[in-house]
Each structure stands twice: as C-alpha cells, then as structure tokens.
Amino acid sequence: MKNTYKNLIILYIKDYLNAFKNIFNYKDEATLKEFWNFFIFNWFFNIIIRLLAKRFSQSEYLYDAYSEYLYDTYIVIVTLTLVSVGFRRLKNAGISGWLFLIPFVNLILALRPQKQVKVS
C-alpha cells in the first residue's frame, strides 16, 4: 500500500515536470490525466508556497520584496505553463485551444473526453 502511494506521487511529479518541459509546445496534445495532474499538483504546491511565504515574511530572515518578486516570477511561469497545457488539452478534446483563454469555461471544456480517432 505504501509503495502504491509513492508511485502515485512520482506520477504526479512527472506530469507536473513534463508540463514545464513543454511550456512552449502548442503542437502536441495533453491527456485529461496530464492536465488535471498538473492543475491539482500545482494547486497544492501553491498553497504550500503561500503558507511558507506568510510564515517567513513575519520574520527577519526573508525580505518581503524579494519573496514577492520570486512569487510573481513563479506565477508568470506557472500561468504560461497552464495555458500551454490547457491549449494542448483542448486540442486533445477536439476543441480550439483559444477557448482556454475564456475564464471558467476553460476548466469545463478541459473536462471533455478525448476526441475519437477513426481507425481505417
């Protein structure tokens, strides 16, 4: 049982890092699993970063401006990656990737199943 959780976490990390490796790749497709693994893992990772930033910003060890710049840089990189994964996910679902730029609609469209490929 413990080994299963370890494999699952490794899978999430691989999908998360794979999204960053393909940050400027808009030609391929991303599966439903890849998109949501990135989205959920990033959501948890963001909460951890925010809690750590809040904890250390109250102490003398971390200057607030530097932590703010680092966090802003992180947000820009993650946003570019999310848009890239979203474009590739919608392409996989058979929908125009540009629809991913519409707030809230993008997450609903990302839930659509993979497009059916006809084998002849």
| C-alpha distance from residue 11 to each of 7, 66, 106 (Å) | 6, 32, 24
Convert the pLDDT of each residue in 47-84 to its tens digit: 888 787 777 666 555 556 666 777 788 889 999 999 99
Distance CA 101, CA 120 (A): 35
Distance CA 92, CA 61 (A): 46
Distance CA 83, CA 25 (A): 11
**Rg of the Cα trace of the chain?**
17
**pLDDT at residue 57, as a whole number:** 65
**pLDDT at residue 76, as a whole number:** 92
Residue 17, phi-psi category: left (phi > 0), alpha (psi -120 to 50), beta (remainder):
alpha
Say if pTM beats, i.e. exceeds, 0.75: yes
Q: Where are the alpha helices (DSSP H) in 22-100?
A: 32-57, 64-92
Residue 101 pLDDT > 60: yes
**pLDDT at residue 103, as a whole number:** 83
